[in-house]
Structure 1
């Protein structure tokens, strides 16, 4: 699905939110790899489940053709600094919902980039008659949980001892969803 480009200016930094295009694939591969090494809030450690340029080209192509998918990127000075995806389901019984995921390079945290990617994804879902958006978030990611709640998400469940982080401890994953009547 294609989304119109939108620019934002926060604390003297301008960034653009736009639909991913196939020529972004190599840079997206690099950004994902870097983000995975900068935070434990995501599912992967650096290098795990690596997606190369060809893999990202395929994802972008599929998302562009599928009206139930949305792939957005955030750019600062022509450099991709974050991205988000909404992925729908092919099964009819799940056709009313999409799953949301987002990541932003640590250097760009605090500029509202993740918030804007979420906001644009929620607006897209509402316009396209998608009734439910789901996501998973690590229990210690308090800022993200608060952000999701501000956009109408609520806790739907808890996966106990779902992840082992670098400290060797187990952590829970919170399942959240936003349902629009």
Structure 2
């Protein structure tokens, strides 16, 4: 689905959060690769499950055409600083929920980009009668967990020893969900 963009101004940075467009595909491929190498909070190491520009064009087209998918980018000065996706499906038993994922370039951490991508996704989900948003977060990502709780997410489970990081140790993945409590029918 395509949504209207919104501008954000914080000390030292002005950026827009908007729907991804096909012309973002090459930059998204580069940004995703860089983000994967900057943090161990995500599922992939740098270069794993690589998606090239053509792959991103297909994802953007499918997400733009789908009423249960949302692909957002945060853009500053013509450059993509981060992105998020909500991915749903059309199966009757699970069509009421989407899974949220986010990535922000390290140089832009601390400017509220991840928070604003999530808030825009929550508003979209609520406005489009999506009942539930789920996400997974590494147990060591305490700032993200605090943010998710602040925005209405609850811990639904723990996947023990789910990820092995570069230090050779295993870490838990926290599964969180937010159920829409508003008026109106949900999917």
TM-score when scaled to structure 2? 0.96
Match of 1:129 in 2: 129
Match of 2:2 in 1: 2
Structure 2 portions without partners, runs of 5+: 182-187
Match of 1:28 in 2: 28
SS at match of 1:172: strand
SS at match of 2:93: helix
Structure 1 portions without partners, runs of 5+: none
Match of 1:83 in 2: 83
Q: How does 1:102-121 map to 2 (within 5 A)?
A: 102-121=102-121
Match of 1:49 in 2: 49
SS at match of 1:25: helix
Measured after TM superposition, the shift of residue 140 of structure 1 is 0.3
Aligned length: 181
Cα distance per residue 1:96-121 (max 9 Å; x no partner)? 00000000000000000000000000
Residues of 1 paired with 2:12 and 2:151: CA distance?
25
SS at match of 1:124: helix
Measured after TM superposition, the shift of residue 90 of structure 1 is 2.2
Measured after TM superposition, the shift of residue 180 of structure 1 is 1.3
Match of 1:63 in 2: 63
